[in-house]
A and B are shown apart, each in its own frame.
Chain A
Amino acid sequence: MSEINRRKFLEGLASTTAGIAIAPGVLLYTTQAKAAVEGVSSAVRWGLLVDANKCSKDCNACVTACSKENGLVDNGRPTTDPQWIRKVDLKDKKTGKETSLPMMCQHCAEPPCVDVCPTGASFKRVDGIVLVDRHICIGCRYCMMACPYKARSFVHEAVTDQKPDIPRGKGTVESCSFCVHRVDQGKSPACVEACAAKEGAMTFGDMNDPKSEISQQLAKYPTTQIRADLGLDLGVRYRGI
C-alpha cells in the first residue's frame, strides 16, 4: 500500500466534509461548523461589559427594559418586590467623583449560589449563564444569602399573567438570566438593547471568542470585576469604576 493512496483517500474525505476544494488541499471555503443538535455550547462564555463612564445617573433604561421584558410587576413594595437589575450610585467622599452603574447577577464562573443550593435548582448553564430551575427550587433562599452581589430575589407574592417565555411563581428565587430566552434566539439581553438606544454603556457577547466586541474591549481597556478578591471569575465586567 503506497502512501499516495492513503493521502488521496484523506483528501477525498476532506473535500466531502469540509466544503468545496478547488485543488487538493486548497479549500474555497469551509462550512461553518454548526451544531447538529440545537442547544447551549460550553465553547461559549456569555459576558457583559459595562462602561460606567458612559452610564448616566439619571438613566434607568436598563431597569425599565428588564422589568418589561421579564414581566416584573411593581407592587409598590420595594422591600419584597423582585429586582433583577438595579442602578447603584457611588460617590468617592474624598474626591467627590460620582459613579453610576447597573448591578445584577454577575454570572460567576464559580457561583456561590450554586455551591450552597441544597436541591440543585441553582445551576450554571454550560455557556456560563447562572439560572434557577424553578421546578426544583424550594425557596429556601440559601443562594440569596450566599450571593455577594445581592443579585437574587425571592418571589413573595403570587404572580399572574406571566410572559410565556419567563415562567415566574411565588415561593421560588429568581435573578437576572441574561435574558436567556433572547440569548438562545441570538439576541442580546433587553437591558443591553435598551442601553444601546440611550447611553451605549453595555456590551454583551462571547468572552471566549477573541473576535467578539466584548473580548476586544476587554483586551484593550482595563476592566474591573467587583469583589475580584473572591476569585469568582465574573461574567459581568466594569470599566471606569
Chain B
Amino acid sequence: MGTKGKIRTIIAFFVFVMALAFGGASLVVAADVPQPVTPKGKECVRDAAFMRANHMNLLKHKRDDTVYQGVRSGNDGLKDCVTCHAIPDDHGKPVGADDSRHFCRTCHDYAAVTMDCFQCHTSKPGGVSK
C-alpha cells in the first residue's frame, strides 16, 4: 500500500511538473507567434464565425452563378468583399492585394494560404453590384 501511494504521489508530481514545463513553454511560444490582424469591419453578409469558415464557398457559389447564369445581384460576390473591406493606405487610398495590409492578405498571410483570386480580379474597390 505504502509503495503504491508513493508511486502515485511521484506520478502526480511528475505530471504536475511536466504540465508546468510544457504549459509554460507553450504560453511563451504563443506570445511569439504572429497573430492575425482582425480587421475592424461592420457587419458582414453572414456572422464572422461563418465567414471565417465558409467565405470561399460563398465566393465559389456566387462565381458560378454569375459566370453561367448571369446572376449579378446580391452582396456576397468578391466585388462586394473588396469594396466593403477596403483598407486605406497612408494617403487614404485603398490598398491592393500586393500590400500586406490588404484585408484578405492579413489572414491569408497568417494562415499561409495562397489566394489566386487577384491574378484576374481586382483587389481594389470599384463598384458594388446592385
Task: Tell me the A residues contacting B by CB distance below 8 Å.
Answer: 37-40, 123, 125, 127, 131, 133-135, 159, 161-165, 167-170, 172, 180-181, 183-185
Contact = CB atoms under 8 A, between A and B. Distances in A.
Best-buried of A40, A125, A164 by chain B (most CB within 10 Å): A164
Contacts of A169: 119-120
A162 B69 contact: no
B70 interface: yes
B121 A162 contact: yes
A168 B122 CA distance: 9
Given A165-B79, A165-B127, A159 B120 contact: yes
Classify the secondary structure of A's interface with B.
loop
B68 A163 contact: no
Nearest to A136: B67
Given A40-B70, A135-B63, A164 B120 contact: no
B122 A161 contact: yes
Nearest to A39: B69
A164 B68 contact: no
Contacts of B121: 162, 164, 167
A184 B120 contact: no
B97 to A, nearest CB: 10
Contact of B67 (A37, A133, A185): A133
Contacts of B119: 169-170
Q: Give 3 nearest A-B pairs by CB, closest first.
A: A169-B120, A164-B126, A39-B69
19 contacts: A38-B71, A38-B73, A39-B69, A125-B70, A127-B70, A135-B63, A159-B120, A161-B122, A162-B120, A164-B79, A164-B121, A164-B125, A167-B121, A167-B122, A169-B119, A170-B119, A172-B120, A180-B70, A184-B70
A131 B64 CA distance: 13
Contacts, number: 52
Interface residues of B, number: 19
B72 interface: yes
A149 to B, nearest CB: 22
B71 A39 contact: yes
Contacts of A161: 122, 124
Interface in B77-130: 79, 119-122, 124-127, 130
A123 B68 CA distance: 9
Given A163-B122, A164-B127, A167-B122, A40 B79 contact: no
B80 to A, nearest CB: 10
A96 B119 CA distance: 48
Contacts of A170: 119
B72 A184 contact: yes
Name the residue in B67, B71, B125 with the highest tally of chain A Cβ atoms < 10 Å from its Cβ.
B67
Contact of A164 (B70, B71, B122): B122
B69 A40 contact: yes
B27 to A, nearest CB: 43
A125, A131, A163, A167, most chain B CB atoms within 10 A: A167
A39 B74 CA distance: 12
Given A39-B70, A167-B120, 8 more contacts: A38-B71, A38-B73, A131-B67, A135-B63, A162-B120, A164-B121, A164-B127, A169-B119
